[in-house]
Amino acid sequence: MHLHVSKLQSFYTRPLGLAVRRLLSHRIRARWQCVNDKTLIGLGFAVPFLGTFIGKVLRVYAMMPAKQGTLVWPKVGATRCVMVEETHLPLHDNSVDRLLLVHCLEYSDTRKKLLREIWRVLSPEGCLMLIVPNQRGVWAMTNATPFGYGRAYSRIELQGLLQNSLFAPISWTWALYFPPVEHQIFLKSTVAFERYGAQVLPGLGGIIIVEARKELAAPKMFALQDSARPLRPLGNLVTG
């Protein structure tokens, strides 16, 4: 079951959430630097990491699952947020260059259908970036943050799921080595924790970040109906 958008939004306004936002935004931008002519979609609750791309990509939208709820984003300017059914995205085939999936896969009851739908909308050269709780990490063991809810993954399980959905992983990394504790001592040392953890405890970060490329050999079972739907805001937007 998806966490409600109000809980997700609340987390990212807290000091701990702001620290997570800074660290993960840096990781995402490090992977996706030359995207000025790309269409970028965030699915799940990706808005904490999308703002930095506004004005730097061709198009950027946030799509939030109906089971999660949605909000108005950004607060200034044209609305770029829509509420969707995660297995029926209102996008044309091959229309997305980069898709960021955050706070979504671990909550989904239809993860295979979700990945098939993402495969459909990605362009032939498109890439998916997944951020999910790490089964071996401390963050998945506590409900103090959104990463403690839903299904945590191991690298082996995630790799099998992606490959079975016609995605080829091209980059693996882990993040959030500092403890999920709202304490200034830890929050002021997040960079040191990340550097130390990556060197000494590789694979034990709180989350897994994997970038995967769309494979073009699509079996017939991947064919989906009603795929040519225009991108447009859906109803039930509420203020954040």
Give the model confidence (pLDDT) of 217-229 as tens digits. 654 444 444 444 4
Q: Which domain holds residue 125?
A: 5-222
The yes-or-no verdict on residue 237 having pLDDT over 90 is no
Is 128 within a domain? yes
169 closest CA partner among 156, 152, 150: 156
Q: What angle do CA 205, 207, 209 make, to 5 degrees?
A: 110
147 closest CA partner among 137, 157, 156: 137
Round to the nearest angstrom and report the end-to-end CA distance of the chain.
Answer: 21
Is 229 within a domain? no
Alpha-carbon dihedral 118, 120, 125, 129, rounded to 10 degrees:
0
The yes-or-no verdict on residue 240 having pLDDT over 50 is no
**In the structure, what pLDDT confidence band is assigned to residue 100 with cuts at 50, 70 and 90?**
very high
Is 212 within a domain? yes
The yes-or-no verdict on residue 233 having pLDDT over 70 is no
Query: What's the CATH code of the domain at 86?
Result: 3.40.50.150
Give the Cα separation of 25 and 20 in Å (integer): 8
